[in-house]
Amino acid sequence: MAKKKKKKIEEVPVFKNSISTEEDLGETITGLKSELYEDIESVPSKKELKRLLRIADEAEDDDDKDEEIRSCFTNRELSWLLFNERVLNEAGNPRVPLAERLTFASIFQTNLDEFFMVRVGTLMVQMSSEENIRDNKTGMSCKKQVKAILKEVKRLEKKRAVIYDQLMGELEPKGIRLINFRKLSYEETGFLETYFDAHIAPFLTPMVLSKQQPFPFLENKQLYAVVSLGSRSSKNSLGIVPCSNSVFKRLIEIPTRPGNYMLSEELILHFVGKIFPHFEIKEKSIMRVTRNADIEGIEVYDEDMNYRDVMEQLIKKRTRLNPVRVEITRKLSKGLLKEIAKNMFIDTSHIIDVDTPLDLSYVSTLRKYLVDKQELFYNPRKPQDSAMVDTSKPIIPQALEKDILLSYPFESMKPFLQLLDEAATDKDVVSIKMTLYRVASQSKIVDTLIKAAENGKEVVVLLELRARFDEENNIDMSRLLEEAGCRILYGLEDYKVHSKLCLISRRIHNAESSVQYITQIGTGNYNEKTATLYTDLALVTANQKIGAEVASVFAHLLQSEVLDKTEELLVSPLCLQNKVLGMMDEQIKRAQKGKEAYIGVKVNSFTDKAILTKMIECSRAGVKVDLVVRGICCLIPGIPGLTENIRVVSIVGRYLEHSRIYIFGKGKGRKIYIASADFMTRNTTRRVEVAAPIHDRKLQNRILHMFDTMMNDDEKGKELTSEGVYVDRHINETPLNSQEVLFDEAYAAAKRAAAHKAKTNGVNK
């Protein structure tokens, strides 16, 4: 008897021309359950209806699961704002020295500026798109995200004002005071007026807007006095005075009160009536505009331009992009706000009242005034010599003998710089290949690469010109390197190259090979300055399998391709996310068999939905998960039945947490990697990133100790709760500051190594 042909869904009359697959049935079938098939030409058979209703039940279950999973996620932009609030909290932390708290207040502002320039700018561009772009974790539309951001930022500005007032109050007993006109005598006001007339007014270029003088272009992050001007002959006009000027000082000292200063923009605003003598001053405020700076979506095409020229054109375009925020220091009428918003082409909701100075860059000057008061600063710390390396001897033989792990800023970058310098002159070194993302403006590394090229070495440098806000410096460096004879690559068309790789190839002669690799793979940039400010890890290894894979990475980059197969390394965009998910699955299987299962991850940000979802699966299977996430974390831990086995800690301290560590498992089968990649979609699928395995057992134990120390940090470490808020922790009898502990250990290790070296030298003598 012939089998009865199973109907396809599109053959069922009620679904014809509307649904093509069973997966599309969710809402339609749910509707069938509650409706009585009104206006249906042909009702499905009883058997077919049962099948369709079963699919409906499964679809509803899937919807419930999706909603359940979604409850574990938070929006990345709002999570970032929580991170910046933790930075602001350090400005208000009485346990932090006063001068350092001033710096945290300034960092909060610069962070927020960049957030508006990049993230909010991108969201506003997407809002104008015809596509309905939504956050893939929370489902929030771009408009809803921007609205939520503005609401949260206005809350943070109020908090910042309170902390700023506290800081200014604590500065007064230290001999520094920012003053306003209400606290000045008649004579002091007269001095400032004379100073204004002689040293400031001649350099101002005020404008009164009219049909002949349209609204001017206001530069990004520059200060302006905005004034509503009244006159008898016409309606109110708008006056604008640029206040940012390198000619006059920002901090003006009151001669009768040493240590008392006034900001130049406040002086301009006070005497703005002298600038517009024929008008009545109705309203006035200092104003600052923040413009979109995300140039990645802008297209500049000219077949006669090389990529470096294209980037230079994009950088120029960045300065002209649309405003995303306007800050003001005084309350203004609704009419004036509407006029400003209209001229700036933004909604009035993007105009934010700020009760602090709009540019805190003068904080660095205040710190200089306090330099003789050491108690107001952190205790001096200096990167120590690594106990693993003897810098009085050549580094290359030491690297060939054993793997070396450097931990910045606790240990000095000097061993790597010395290794590179040796490679530049070693007669057996044939080539040096490096990826550069952000380098110091006066880079020793670039100088050494130039030296190597001049010594006849093949030097290949992939210099990523799209490193945001470092584009100009990288363009300058590319020219220097190119002029010295280095071969320069500018990255791939579709992927940024964010990996931190240095491959030294040496000529050897033995039965197995004619080439010997020494490889350095790091979590942070090749930047001598940030190596003293950021926590990062760097592995130096002569493991030839690792070296060969790094050589393959460079070979693919030279051909504008990405690596699609690896054994040792994790290399995005094709061989990182999938391998991470695979190792997570291994831990799930262990947990399901009743074995101990564990995942530990340290990253700067965690937004990759595939890995986030797998983390939830891990937790539900019983895998214990520890996450150290400095900034954005879109995963909410501690939700019963979902993320109850996950802990999330954020550390915001003296040094910027920047290292990335991946740990899978415990005991003998444990796998540990250090990486350049955060768990963000842009890192795991849209960039070239590299994670290196740590094979040496001693180095593994050292990294595990670092990770455990950070997980137990209850001085600077805050824990994310199931309510989505970060709270203080109380773990240790005496609060533990992981960065200070790791520095103390670096000092102790360097001291022991020096003592051992002295003892050995004494015996040898």
Q: Which of 270, 350, 498, 658 is catalytic?
A: 498
| Other residues' Cβ atoms within 10 Å of the Cβ of residue 760 | 11
| Other residues' Cβ atoms within 10 Å of the Cβ of residue 596 | 13
Please state, in angstroms and rounded to a whole number, the distance separating the CA atoms of residues 108 and 86.
Answer: 9
> What's CA 708's distance to the chain center, in Å?
24
Cα distances (angstroms) measured from residue 67 to each of 30, 228, 406, 613, 740: 16, 51, 44, 12, 42
Q: Side chain identity at 4, as an amino acid letter?
A: K
Q: Are 377 and 99 in contact (CB under 8 A)?
A: yes
Q: Are 292 and 125 in contact (CB under 8 A)?
A: yes
Characterize the bridge pairing of strands 726-727 and 717-720: antiparallel
Characterize the bridge pairing of strands 671-675 and 690-693: antiparallel
Cα distances (angstroms) measured from residue 305 to each of 4, 313, 479, 490: 65, 10, 15, 14
Residues 280, 284, 288: CA angle, nearest 5 degrees? 145
DSSP H or E stretch at residue 421: helix 414-425
**Nearest CA among 152, 176, 111, 87 for reference residue 365:** 176
Q: Which two tokens stand for residue 648?
A: 């999330």
Q: What is the 3-state secondary structure (H, E, C) of 165-189?
A: HHHHHHHHHHCCEECCHHHCCHHHH
> What's CA 551's distance to the chain center, in Å?
29
Q: Is 705 annotated in the active site?
A: no
Q: Side chain identity at 609, as an amino acid letter?
A: K
Please state, in angstroms and rounded to a whole number, the distance separating the CA atoms of residues 560 and 489.
Answer: 9
Tokens 């000529």 correspond to: 507
Q: Quick check: helix, strand or coil at residue 461?
A: strand
Q: Quick check: helix, strand or coil at residue 588?
A: helix
Catalytic residue numbers, as ranges: 498
